[in-house]
Chains A and B, each alone.
Chain A
Amino acid sequence: MDQGNEIRVETRGSVTLFEIRGDVTVVSEPFLKEAYKNASQEGGIKSLLLKFDQNAYINSGGIAVLIQILSETKRNNQQVVITGLSDHFKKIFNMVGITKFAKIYGSVDEALKALPDDV
């Protein structure tokens, strides 16, 4: 069941987009950390957009991994936004407090509009 994630990385202006395929669990940790490290080294990250699969399942381990990434982005003063979550996980993310560090939007376009344009 836990097979790791394919993470597609794209840059849109000053925003780095991580398209995270599959469920997110503790198994996702090395994949997300690698993607973050590579993106940081290549062009640097100013803003980060995390896009999840609509049917993705994010368990407590996955939430731990996301919190780990968010603590890193906070330390590096990087803004993070999230899209693609089902209503169920939007509610959970709100209840565990992730939305204090990363706002959730209904679509990639909506999230991109909310991020400041960079010069």
Chain B
Amino acid sequence: MDLRLCYLFTGLAEEQLNRISSAAKEVSMVKDQRIFTGGNPAFALHILKDGAVELMMKTENELEIPVAILREPGDCFGTSALMPAHSYSLSSRCVREGCFLIVERSVLKQIISEDRDLGCILMTNAASFFLDRLNQARQELRIHFATLFKSFYL
């Protein structure tokens, strides 16, 4: 799979992509398989190759709220492996059988320490993505507040 499909690797040179590609391992998944659980140590970055994965967030009463669906090759998840506290912020499960690549945190750390430019590009891409997600979360919050406000005052 062309790792350029993953937003994290946008702007990397061929050689840099090859380094990450060499470190990636392919893992199969079956429908309804739990891939990782929120709160657990983030041991690897995951990159979807085939199939589909759902990201969920657990609430107090054990309900798992759907957060996102990943369907395209190159969609990545488990990005908490890139940054402290290295703990998955969401849970993930397979919704359509397929496979994904993992790049272990320790290996990524090694690659980044040897190539600071690569690390900078990765983090810049991650920051841009998270900002977009933050804006979406704010929109969601705005909608909830608008609904609450109308319920109480109108």
A residues neighboring B (CB under 8 Å): 1-2, 23, 25-26, 29, 57-61, 63-65, 67-68, 71-72, 75, 88-89, 92, 95-96
Contact = CB atoms under 8 A, between A and B. Distances in A.
Interface string B43-63: 000000000001001000001
Interface residues of B, number: 20
A29 B63 contact: no
B65 interface: yes
The prevalent SS among residues of A at the interface is helix
Considering residues B57, B63, B72, B143, which has the most beta carbons from chain A within 10 angstroms of its beta carbon?
B143
A64 B143 CA distance: 6
Given A59-B69, A75-B150, A64 B63 contact: no
Contact of B66 (A1, A59, A67): A59
Given A23-B69, A75-B154, A68 B63 contact: no
A71 B151 contact: yes
Q: Find the residue from B65, B66, B144 having the highest chain A CB count within 10 A.
A: B66
B10 interface: no
A75 B153 CA distance: 12
